[in-house]
Amino acid sequence: MTTITARRHRHDDDLPAGHHPSKLSRTLVWTGLVLFLIYSIAPVWFLIVSATKDQRDLYTTNGLWFADFHLLDNTRDLFTYHDGIFLRWMANTLLYGVAGTVGMTVICVACGYALAMYRFRGRGILMGCIIGSFLIPGALLTIPSFLLYSRLHIVDTPWAIIVPHFFSAFSVYLAKVYAEGAVPPELLEAARVDGAGEYRAFFTIGARLMTTGSATIFLLGFVGSWNSFFGPLVFLRGEQKWTIMLGLYSWLNIKVDQSVDLTGLVIVGAIVSLIPIVALMLSMQRFWRSGITLGSLK
C-alpha cells in the first residue's frame, strides 16, 4: 500500500510514459523557462517598484528595487491631479467597455447562433462576409469611418466608440463555432414540437446553453475595448471624454512639451489601468483561453 502511493507520488500521473529526460536536458529546459519567466515578469516588477517612489528617487535609485515608500502619496496625486481627471477617464473607459461589449455580445451571439442552427438562403454569403472581413486591415477603415461618423454627427461623442464596437465579425465567428458544439439541434426540434417559437427557443434554450461561450465573447470584447487606442485617438477630442489609454498618452506628451514632469503619474496610472484587466483575466482564465484557442484552431 505504502509503496504504491510512494511510487505514484514519484511518477506523477501527468508525466508522459517512458519519459526519462537526462540531467543535462532537464537543466537546459529549466534554464530556458526561468530566463523567459524573468523576461516576462521583470518589466512589470519594474513598473510596480517605480510606482512606490517619489519623483527624486525615480531618477536616482536602482530601478529594480524599492526606495522610500510613496505609493499612497503617488496614488493620491494620481486621483487628485487636474481635478481628478484620471477618475473621469476610468469611468469613461468602463462605460464604453461595458456598454459596447454588452451590446456586442447580444448582437453577435444571436447572429452566430442563427448561422450555426438555421439553413437559410444567403447564409453562405453571410459567412463569406464574416471571414472576408478578417482580412480587412483595421487601418483601411479608420479614415473612411471618420468621414462617415462626421456625417452621422457622432465624432467626438461616446457613440463613435460604443456603437461600432457592437459589430464584431470575430465574435460572430466565435459564437457560431461555440453554438455548433453546445446547442444540439434535436433540442431545438423538441422545443418546436412542444410549441415554442424560434425566439422563445433561443432565449430559453440556445442562449442558456451558450452562457460559457457568451462569457468568453464578452471577456475578449471587454479587454479589447479597454485596451483600444487608435479608435479613441481618432474619434474623441475633448479630454473629458478620453479613455485611460488616451489620457496616459497625453501625459506622456506633456512631459516632452513642457517642463512639467508627469512621469510618476504615468507610471502609477499605468498600474491602476492594469489592475482591473489583469484581475479580470486571471479570474476568468478559462474563458479567454478557450476563446483564443477556439478562434485559432478550428
**Contacts to another protein from residues 65-104, by CB under 8 A:** none
Torsion region of 137: left, alpha or beta (phi above 0 gives left; psi -120 to 50 gives alpha): beta
203 near another protein (CB under 8 A): no
Question: Which of positions 124-153 make contact with another protein (CB under 8 A)?
Answer: 125-126, 129, 133, 135-148
- Other residues' Cβ atoms within 10 Å of the Cβ of residue 47: 15
Instruction: Establish if 252 lies at the interface with another protein (CB under 8 A).
Output: yes
| Contact residue for another protein among 8, 59, 131, 237 (CB under 8 A) | 59
With CA atoms as reference, report the closest residue to 50 among 38, 34, 66. Answer: 66
Q: Binders of another protein: how many residues, by CB under 8 A?
A: 101
Mark 222-236 as b/e (b = at least 16 C-beta within 10 Å).
Answer: bbbbbebeebbeebb
260: region left, alpha or beta (phi > 0 left; psi from -120 to 50 alpha): beta
254 to 273: interface string for another protein, x by CB under 8 A: -xx------x--xx--x--x
- Please give the Cα distance from 267 to 247 (Å, whole number): 12
The verdict on 207 binding another protein (CB under 8 A) reads no
Q: Given the complex with another protein, which of 1 and 282 has the nearer CB atom? A: 282
Contact region with another protein (CB under 8 A), list: 1-9, 82-90, 189-197, 211-219: 189-197
Is residue 169 a contact point for another protein (CB under 8 A)? yes
Nearer to another protein, 208 or 289 (CB): 289
